[in-house]
A and B are shown apart, each in its own frame.
Chain A
Amino acid sequence: MKRFLLLLAVLALAVTACAPAATPTPVVTREVVEVTKEVVREVEKPRITVRLSGWAANPQETALLESLLYRCSLQNPDIVVKYEPITGDYWAKIKTLVASGEEPDIYYMDIFQFPFFAAKGVLVPLDDYMAQAGVKKEDFIKTLIDAFTGPDGKVYGIPKDFNTLALFYNKDLFAQAGIPEPNENWTWEDLKNAARRLSDPAKGIYGLGVPADPGRFPIFVFQNGGRIMTPDFGDTTLDSAEVIEAAKFYTSFRAEKIGAIPADVGVDWQGTGFGQGKLAMVFEGGWLIPYLREQFPTLKWGATFPPSGPKGRGNLIFTVAYVISKNSKNPEAAWKTINCLTSEESQAIVLSTGFALPSRAKLAESEYFKTRPESLVIFKGAEFGTPFMWGLRGDVVNEQMAKALERIYLEGQDVEASFKQAAEEVRKALKEQQ
């Protein structure tokens, strides 16, 4: 042992003594060092950081996005994506970030908010990137990619997912009433007759949820061949005969005590009322499915297409896209990230988790839908759906639609007068737009 230590000491001395000398050995050493340096340089090749923001969804959805981002980091090893979810009021935050030029490279864009961003030129057009990467518009569901096309004909967002409305029904209440469950061939009359049979106001059970909600009512307008806004969004059609007729039908449910708004059954959202068995039928989107599974696991429910109106089918499409900020210093890296997040593989993963419906048209044939007909109903709803978007003053249109229904419900105002008033208010707001 002692001898070994001594040997070490001698060796150490020898090395230190040798090092400064100009013997051939150090030359070799230098070469080695240079080689290692080169390797190090290659690994430390500057990676591009791209910031991505969305609203903070539930933890599972965040985990899903993070796993997709991990997959994308393997595909694009030179890009680091920093996910910065925004809690609280997303649009207030993102708009002020854009105003100060501090917005993330990629962010979520809801179709409802899109017109303002598109009109103001704060987004990067994606057509050239799509062409380079071989991504075709036809790969996506047409209504979705068209929705994110600006007034100049350029694509500004790649839809990441979407939702439509389905008619959810409580199977037990239908069995108790002894009437057949809804199917895709239902008409407005079928809906009303069923609501009549299902309602039992004494027990606090109502046939249909008819909230004063601008995210529900318009499907009746579309089914009646009407519109909310003119095609160029320059004027509203809330006082048209089609809308008023649809509103008369929609509000007749509550007037006849066979339909209810959430407050009537003591809930904030009709999804809760449906889960509690107080509303036999509701029009809701795919978000209701995980909610029912978690909160009301014993409820027996089904879902089908909303009924056809006098002028056929109609639905609303809620969709969100990834957009790239014009202030982005690395739009190419941002594009690569978006392209990976919306690729067919990523979208298939999104679908398999059941959180959202993918925007890729091809996934209609996915195995997933075979065991989940209710999700397929919502997916296929896009075929006859209209995007939930009313132009630059969408907030006013939504607000006035809700108020028109509230005036009828809470103050007993005449349907026609109420919607005429709403149309006037919208026109005033459109005129005030400077």
Chain B
Amino acid sequence: MIRIRRRQLGEWIAAYILLSPYLFVFLVFSVFAIAYAFYLSFTYFDLFSPPRWIGLGNYLYLLRDNLFLQKAVPNTLKYVAVVVPVQTAISLLLAFAMDQEIKFRRFFRTLFYVPSVTSSVVISLIFLWLFKKTGVINQLLGLSIDWLTSPTFALPTIMIVNIWATTGTMMVIFLAGLQDIPVTYYEAAMIDGANRWQMLRHITIPLLRPVIFFVVTMGVIGCFQVFDQIYVMTAGGPLDSTTTIAYLIYKWAFQSTTPFMGRASAVAFVLAGMILIVTVIQRRLIERPTEV
């Protein structure tokens, strides 16, 4: 009995020694950083003077700040509500298409995946040019819209850019999921006389559920945290129409002449809370036990 324990202890020690480089980084840059940010969210901290405890002050401030309540939160929710379903649907359709025996399949797969391996800043800069008043998009559509300088169109424009940039990644994940489904199920269904729609409804979608959950969750988290495109393309403007929660964190922490680190940390934790809640709800909705 003792001998077994000792052996287990040895294994644990070995495991932790092997894990230690990662654990060190994890403890310092994740656990400590998050704990410290949590502490800061209860303080007034301008970087130059030591943090001063103000209790729930920052959180109460958020409850009466118009920029947070009337711009950042609604903008973020709108963004998530539009981008996540659209990018999931498009990437799923693309994955179905790429799963068929069509000509130049490999070529298209690569093509659709290219945006995913391109820097988001580069993508934003290119779209900045495309969406100019005198840019290609307006010329192709025969319009003259100030896409990025109009409070009405700026957020939808950024949504379009993000959908374009992320569908490739999600397509690849869906594709992997599709190819994971054993062919035998389809063969059995065919023998039973099922049509394509029935196969899709009763085999593909149920078996793809964990993958859908993964894709939607990653999409939701990514959309809640949207920052780079906004930073590069609109800087939260015009008239805060593209100020999202993540951008607000940056704005209060780093763009203010007097930094508000405490307030920014509080927003970060509110954002984390929102993501957690939405993810739990999704899990309930999507990841029901699969029945084939």
Contacts and interface: CB of A to CB of B under 8 A. Distances in A.
Same assembly: yes
Interface of A: 89, 91-92, 95-96, 98-99, 112-113, 115-117, 120, 122, 261, 263-266, 392-396, 403, 406-407, 410-411, 432-434
Going nearest first, the 7 A-B pairs with the smallest beta carbon separation are: A266-B134, A92-B254, A263-B149, A120-B48, A99-B47, A266-B133, A394-B257
B257 A120 contact: no
Contacts of A406: 237-239
A263 B134 CA distance: 9
A120 B50 CA distance: 11
Nearest to B44: A434
B46 A120 contact: yes
B176 interface: no
Nearest to B237: A406
Contact of B48 (A122, A265, A393, A407): A122
B259 interface: yes
Interface residues of B, number: 28
Contact of A392 (B54, B146, B258): B258
Interface in B10-55: 44, 46-49, 52, 54
B161 to A, nearest CB: 17
Contacts of B133: 263-266
A98 B48 CA distance: 7
Given A98-B48, A406-B239, A116 B254 contact: no
Contact of B257 (A261, A266, A393): A393
Interface of B: 44, 46-49, 52, 54, 57, 61, 132-135, 146, 149-151, 237-240, 253-259
Nearest to A204: B134
A393 B259 CA distance: 10
Given A120-B49, A407-B239, A411-B239, A395 B255 contact: yes
B48 A403 contact: no
Main secondary structure of the interface of A (DSSP, over half): helix
A266 to B, nearest CB: 4
A115 B257 contact: yes
A403 B239 contact: yes
B149 A89 contact: no
B54 A89 contact: no
Contact of A393 (B49, B132, B151, B258): B258
24 contacts: A89-B254, A92-B254, A95-B47, A95-B48, A98-B47, A115-B257, A117-B48, A120-B46, A122-B48, A261-B149, A263-B146, A263-B149, A265-B133, A266-B133, A392-B258, A393-B257, A394-B257, A395-B255, A395-B256, A406-B238, A410-B149, A410-B238, A411-B151, A434-B54
Contact of A433 (B238, B253, B258): B258
B239 A116 contact: no
Given A95-B47, A266-B133, A113 B257 contact: yes
A96 B47 contact: yes
A411 B239 CA distance: 10
Given A261-B149, A265-B133, A406-B237, 6 more contacts: A95-B254, A98-B47, A116-B258, A120-B49, A266-B134, A433-B258
A393 B255 CA distance: 11
B47 A266 contact: no
B115 to A, nearest CB: 24
Contacts of B255: 92, 395
Nearest to B144: A266
Contacts of B151: 410-411
A395 B149 CA distance: 20
Nearest to B149: A263
A379 B52 CA distance: 44
A181 to B, nearest CB: 29
Nearest to B253: A92
A167 B252 CA distance: 35
B259 A95 contact: yes
A406 B47 CA distance: 32
Nearest to B57: A434
Nearest to B47: A99
A116 B258 CA distance: 6
A112 B254 CA distance: 14
Contacts of B52: 434
Contacts of A411: 151, 239
Contacts of A395: 255-258
A112 B134 CA distance: 34
Contacts of A434: 44, 52, 54, 57
Given A410-B151, A411-B239, A91 B258 contact: no
Nearest to B61: A432
Nearest to A95: B47
B257 A116 contact: yes
A122 B237 CA distance: 33
Nearest to B49: A120
B262 to A, nearest CB: 9
Contacts of A261: 149
A117 to B, nearest CB: 8
A393 B258 CA distance: 6
Given A120-B48, A266-B132, A410-B238, A91 B254 contact: yes
B158 to A, nearest CB: 16
A410 B257 contact: no
B181 to A, nearest CB: 46
B53 to A, nearest CB: 12
A389 B46 CA distance: 19
B12 to A, nearest CB: 36
Nearest to A263: B149
Nearest to B67: A425
Contacts of A264: 133
A72 to B, nearest CB: 29
Contacts of A120: 46, 48-49
A184 B48 CA distance: 45
Nearest to A434: B44
A113 B46 CA distance: 14
B152 to A, nearest CB: 9
